[in-house]
């Protein structure tokens, strides 16, 4: 894969081309200190692989505990403390080697330390390759509210190498695949048709490339999410609420697992409000049912999930704003949906 994606201020590069580019960047800039930010899993599974791909003589390792429950201010305090103790200065670099938790939190740390230092994302999960590492959003959770605190702050580059996926668990691959499917639904009919006919995830390098290109082109039009970027929240209004709700329960869901449910719900609602073809709704549900295990959600839980929606940061003036579809690749933003229809959509998902 020799192609690269231009994200305005930075590039997304693939495989060895990315590591060559990184080597050149490091000799050009001559950073005072390089911090490699890992979590316990990427330290074990990805660090040696990364160091084999690039010649890095001196670096400091900074480690977070893995998992969404650690994407918070307490983890940030520890990271800021270590960077400060090790005399990180304005000319330091953070390399985030990990999934979306590592890149969201590492990007946030970088954007605030000394009013902003450089960082680079090397995503090691499918989800962070196609979504979290690209687009310049950084952030942490606040209580049960996802990504409540954060910044827009671009990395110097993103390097995508599917070699890292070899050690990733299967459910994490499915989780990332939800974003690939989402990108195709909102923007890329050709890819959608290819994906939907399979009974399993498609995540080869070309599919990853297409998915990143889709996200990137949307971000380039509307970085600050005033309009078009909202389409990336397809399936996320309810998906986030589902994810937040189950975060502290035994049914804890991965991000993409919650989004997959959100995609089915939003597709159903799109049919009711905008005549989005029911054929598409059926094929999306069928495809998702084949890939993800069904999550039982009872009526009380549905009520609690709907309550949580009011806290979603995308809601303005207390209204619940949905991204819906007129057709594949034809999203509509800022639609308000009545509670009864939301409940009906849950029934459809559970059917
Ligand atoms: N900034 C954005 O635009 C954006 C977009 C989408 C999602 N996100 C965020 O991304 C996060 C989810 O990211 P994620 O799904 O990558 O989760 P994650 O970072 O929690 O990684 C999932 C798990 O896989 C482990 N892991 C990572 N790479 C591995 C590898 N190569 N081999 C073995 N294990 C590995 C991690 O340690 C972790 O336990 C959420 O917090 C979400 O809010 C951000
Ligand atoms: Zn997402």
- Residues in CB range of 186: below 8 A, 6 or more apart: 214, 231, 232, 234, 323, 325, 329, 331
Distance 278 CA to ligand 1 centre (A): 33
* Ligand 1 mutation pick, 96, 105, 111, 127, max ligand atoms within 8 A of CB: 127
Whether 181 and 329 map to the same domain: the answer is: yes
For residue 237, what is the domain's CATH number? Answer: 1.20.1090.10
Whether 182 and 112 map to the same domain: the answer is: no
Distance 105 CA to ligand 2 centre (A): 15
pLDDT category at 94 given cuts 50, 70, 90 is very high
Whether 85 and 196 map to the same domain: the answer is: no
Whether 196 and 68 map to the same domain: the answer is: no
* Rounded distance between C-alpha atoms, residue 7 and residue 17, angstroms: 16
Residue 60 pairs in a beta bridge with 35
Ligand 1 pocket, residues with Cβ under 6 angstroms = 39, 41-42, 45-46, 66-68, 71, 98-102, 104, 124-125, 127-128, 131-132, 135, 137, 146-147, 164, 167-168, 172, 175, 255
- Asked if the model's pLDDT at residue 318 lies above 80, the reply is no
Residue 207 lies in a domain: no
Whether 331 and 192 map to the same domain: the answer is: yes
Nearest to 182 by CA among 247, 254, 272, 257: 257
Residue 190 lies in a domain: yes
* Ligand 1 mutation pick, 101, 177, 201, max ligand atoms within 8 A of CB: 101
For residue 114, what is the domain's CATH number? Answer: 3.40.50.1970
Give CA separation, 113 vs 70, 83, 88, 107, in Å: 19, 9, 9, 10
Whether 191 and 140 map to the same domain: the answer is: no
pLDDT category at 208 given cuts 50, 70, 90 is very high
Residue 318 lies in a domain: yes
Whether 233 and 123 map to the same domain: the answer is: no
Residue 206 lies in a domain: no
Residue 83 lies in a domain: yes
Contact 129, 176 (CB under 8 A): yes
Whether 189 and 245 map to the same domain: the answer is: yes
* Rounded distance between C-alpha atoms, residue 108 and residue 185, angstroms: 29
Give the model confidence (pLDDT) of 139-189 as tens digits. 999 987 788 999 999 999 999 999 999 999 999 999 999 999 999 999 999
Contact 147, 131 (CB under 8 A): no
Give the model confidence (pLDDT) of 246-301 as tens digits. 977 888 899 999 999 999 999 999 999 999 999 999 999 999 999 999 999 999 99
Check residue 320 and give its pLDDT: 79
Distance 179 CA to ligand 2 centre (A): 6
Give CA separation, 10 vs 2, 135, 335, in Å: 16, 10, 33
Hey, CA dihedral for 281, 284, 290, 295, is it positive or negative? negative
Residue 158 lies in a domain: yes
The pair of structure tokens assigned to 115 is 């009013």
Check residue 317 and give its pLDDT: 62
Distance 79 CA to ligand 2 centre (A): 25
Structural domains counted in the chain: 2
Whether 194 and 146 map to the same domain: the answer is: no
Domain endpoint, select from 167, 186, 212:
167
* Ligand 1 mutation pick, 43, 46, 99, max ligand atoms within 8 A of CB: 99
Give the model confidence (pLDDT) of 45-79 as tens digits. 999 999 999 989 899 999 999 998 899 999 999 99
Check residue 145 and give its pLDDT: 77
This prediction's pTM? 0.95
Check residue 133 and give its pLDDT: 98
Give the residue, by CA position, lying nearest to ligand 1 atom 8: 132
Determine the distance from the C-alpha atom of residue 266 to the mean position of all C-alpha atoms in its chain, rounded to a whole number. Answer: 18
Residue 51: count of CB within 10 angstroms of its CB: 13
Whether 126 and 175 map to the same domain: the answer is: no
Residue 218 lies in a domain: no
Domain endpoint, select from 121, 145, 167:
167
Q: Summarize the confidence of residues 22-30 as an average pLDDT.
A: 96
Whether 182 and 80 map to the same domain: the answer is: no
* Ligand 1 mutation pick, 100, 134, 137, 211, max ligand atoms within 8 A of CB: 100
The pair of structure tokens assigned to 74 is 């307490």
SS3 percent helix, strand, coil of the chain, rounded to 5, is 55, 20, 25
298 secondary structure, DSSP code:
-
Whether 150 and 176 map to the same domain: the answer is: no
Domain endpoint, select from 167, 191, 215:
167
Ligand nearest to the CA of 174: 1
Check residue 312 and give its pLDDT: 56
Domain range for 239? 171-200+225-350
Residue 315 lies in a domain: yes
Mean pLDDT, the chain, as a whole number? 95
**Residues making up the chain, counted from first to last:** 351
Distance 98 CA to ligand 1 centre (A): 7
Nearest to 94 by CA among 59, 126, 70, 128: 59
Nearest to 107 by CA among 142, 132, 81: 132
């Amino acid at each position: 894969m020799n192609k690269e994606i231009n994200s305005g201020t930075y590039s997304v590069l693939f495989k060895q081309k990315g590591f060559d580019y990184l080597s050149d960047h490091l000799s050009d800039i001559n950073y005072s200190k390089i911090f490699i930010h890992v979590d316990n899993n990427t330290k074990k599974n990805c660090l040696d692989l990364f160091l084999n791909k690039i010649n890095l003589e001196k670096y400091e390792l900074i480690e977070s505990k893995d998992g969404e429950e650690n994407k918070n201010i307490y983890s940030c305090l520890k990271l800021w403390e270590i960077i400060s103790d090790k005399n990180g200065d304005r000319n330091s670099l953070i390399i985030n080697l990990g999934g979306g938790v590592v890149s969201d939190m590492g990007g946030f740390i970088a954007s605030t330390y000394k009013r902003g230092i450089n960082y680079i994302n090397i995503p090691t999960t499918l989800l962070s390759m196609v979504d979290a590492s690209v687009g310049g959003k950084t952030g942490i959770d606040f209580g049960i509210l996802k990504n409540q605190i954060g910044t827009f702050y671009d990395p110097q580059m993103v390097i995508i190498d599917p070699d890292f996926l070899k050690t990733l668990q299967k459910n994490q691959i499915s989780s990332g695949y939800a974003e690939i499917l989402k990108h195709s639904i909102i923007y890329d009919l050709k890819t959608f048709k290819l994906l939907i006919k399979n009974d399993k995830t498609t995540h080869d390098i070309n599919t990853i490339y297409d998915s990143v290109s889709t996200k990137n082109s949307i971000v380039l039009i509307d970085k600050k999410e005033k309009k078009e970027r909202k389409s990336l929240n397809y399936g996320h209004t309810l998906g986030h609420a589902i994810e937040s709700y189950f975060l502290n329960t035994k049914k804890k869901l991965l991000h993409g697992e919650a989004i997959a449910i959100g995609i089915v719900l939003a597709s159903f609602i799109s049919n009711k409000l905008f005549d989005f073809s029911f054929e598409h709704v059926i094929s999306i549900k069928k495809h998702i049912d084949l890939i993800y295990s069904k999550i039982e959600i009872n009526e009380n839980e549905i009520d609690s999930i709907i309550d949580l929606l009011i806290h979603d940061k995308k809601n303005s003036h207390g209204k619940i704003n949905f991204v819906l579809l007129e057709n594949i690749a034809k999203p509509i933003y800022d639609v308000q949906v009545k509670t009864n229809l939301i409940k009906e959509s849950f029934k459809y998902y559970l059917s």
